[in-house]
Chain A
Amino acid sequence: MSDLPIWRRLQPYVSVLLVLLLIGAPLWLVVVTAGKSQGEAINPNFALPSRWHLVDNVRQVWVDAQVPAAFLGSMLIVVPTVLLVLLLGSMAAWVLARRTSKLMAVLYAVGISGIILPPAVVTVVLLLRQLGLAGTAVGMIAVYLGIYLSTVIFFVTGFVRTIPESLEEAAQIDGAGPMLVFRRIVLPLLRPVLATATILICLYVWNDVFYAFFVVGGRLDTLPLNLFRVASAGLYLNNWHLIFAYVIMMSLPLVVVFAIAQRKIISGITGGAVK
């Protein structure tokens, strides 16, 4: 049905119209509102600002909301989380994929159950308190690791199974131990799937506000936590121009990452889903 002559002619117009309507309109609202003065932005609408205040608004958010501290907090958590989740996850996934036994099947099932099962957000706070990690970056990183290791194990195990084992065997015959084989042979081969996992985990952790609220809320600021706090505390109540200036600022790093690695993201996300 997708190659009827009329449809072939109409399809591009329908696509463009849908993009404008479904994506263009909301994004337009964000940009124009972020460019308005307070008075103009009280009731957000699609009209252009009479004068652009985007830079002023961004500057005001930057100073008033202490964005630099929140940005640092976000980086402090996202970078170690991503590095560790990839390293620990792929180490485990390699062995899970290569060894076959009942025990391994059970361990694998436990390892990936976190993809679906919701983490216990309340009691994890109690646990962190007992460990002396409450409200710290280390505690937050550990919680994210516990949540997202499942995703990495799932993606990487599936990928390792598609790599022929003979590549490892050649090195083993030459006398390389497991550490060396993993570091020099396996890790480089995993690059495509690790790229995907990096993007996914960055996306989740960079944008997370729910888990961060429980673990570091009020102690350590991250960008979404900061946005959430200022937007709900009344400081920005109905100050849509500042909220949207914030949204633009916060989304930029991810948009840049996406623009650079777009093809990898798309092939990676879909690779795991449709075998």
Chain B
Amino acid sequence: MQEGFIDYQKVLENEEHAIKSTQSVIQKAIDWFRSKSMFVLAYGTGCGAIEMPPTFTSRYDIERIGVVGMATPRQADILIVSGYCSYKTLKRVIRSYEQMNEPKYVIALGSCTINGGMYWDSYNTIKRLEDYIPVDMFVNGCMPRPEAIIEGFVKLQSNIKNAKKEAGYIKYRKDNEFYKNNQKKIFGDKIEPSYEANFAGMNQ
């Protein structure tokens, strides 16, 4: 595991990302296509949204990896939660996440999503984001530099291409009880009606 500042070109050429996956040819091709075109939902939820314009424009240009911004949840694949989540924002983030079509992934930026960050004793922010929605990649920092965000995207690409980890949306379907219980504990009876109502009739 390399520490410190990482040159992302070397990360792309690293042997670790060239592990062959053990799936059929068609599934490998589909995973390769999915990893090369990731559309990000346009939602700046917190402090970390101030480092998104430099990442998406001409200096640190993330469009060369295939990442573009999109306007509505039905057209997007990735939800970036950039920083702390307050009570009001969490309701809307869960609603946007449930409206997105599968396959979908979540990237969490900043230390506030990991363990509360510097607002650890605040009455209005949540402390662990992965209790409420499944997270696929954490990028730490306060806030993460554009180079760190690009490294996070490249690692997520290799995770998708090689099917190394179980993706978050499959976990959200299987363990739906766990996530809904945590959400009910914080929202009480003001929880929004769910978009994923009938799982029993769907097959994996």
Do A and B make up one complex? no
